Amino acid sequence: MRNRITTALLAVVCLALGMSACSSSHQLVDDSPAAALQAVQGAIDTSGSMHFVDTSSDPTGTTVLTGDIGPTSATETVRGTGDPLEARLVQGLAYVKADEAVLVGTIGLSPDVASAHVQQWVSLDQGDAAYQQVAGSLGIQSETSSYLPTRKVTMRTTVVHMRQVVELSGPLPASALHSTGTVAIYVSPDAPYLPVMGTITSTTATKTGTQTHHETVVFSHWGETVAPAAPPGAVSFDSINA
């Protein structure tokens, strides 16, 4: 327990003061996998912001999700299989630019209204029912949590992009029904133990056999300012849903 608390506190201190303040020779691999995972989660929680590129591929094609996420502002873009989707969080308003299916299923517009606003920016304020769902999807935890193993966690050192890292990996969570595979996150071996990359590989049983899904995310620019601009020409949800 002492190691777990010490490691988590060290991650927070290093984030606050900068890496130069961390003269300790303590490394993440000195701890148990459970303590290391807690330290990584603590570093993510206190980081404040990040940039990421998440690439997902399966037999139907490849989709790339790119984003910059801060404490109160964010921007994400989806390109690849299917229609493009963009979302932003700016000064308390959420913005979505998407196809009809998203405007109906996520935003709550009627099909007739949605069809008239396909790929047009729609703004949501905090009083709109869909606001919390959209804003929640633009948070750091929304992107990082799926790459954090939750059971039977193992730890080892390895190299990613010519950089030594610590890999924390485990099987897919029990909630991944009918699928088998692994989830792994690769983090700095030194405080503040921030993620560099994550991977998910899963195989799902289908009526015709199996389908394999690969997903890789690259993290960077932790702690940097995220200040996206409000998109021009947005229409408010209330004005088109009356």
Q: Where are the beta strands (DSSP E) in 91-224?
A: 93-97, 122-124, 154-160, 163-171, 179-187, 195-206, 209-220
Contacts of 176 (CB under 8 A, 6+ apart): 202
Rounded distance between C-alpha atoms, residue 19 and residue 211, angstroms: 43
pLDDT digits (tens, 9 = 90+) for 33-89: 999 999 999 999 999 999 999 999 998 899 999 999 999 999 999 999 888 999 999
Cα 64 from chain centroid? 12
pLDDT of residue 68: 98
pLDDT of residue 3: 46
* Opening angle at CA 104, ends 143 and 212, nearest 5: 45
Rounded distance between C-alpha atoms, residue 64 and residue 58, angstroms: 12
pLDDT of residue 176: 76
Tokens of residue 168, six digits: 């924390």
Listed by start position, the domains of the chain span 2-51+148-220, 65-141+225-240
Contact between residue 190 and residue 22 where contact means Cβ atoms under 8 Å apart: yes
pLDDT digits (tens, 9 = 90+) for 75-92: 999 999 888 999 999 999
In the chain, which stretches have pLDDT less than 70?
Answer: 1-25, 177
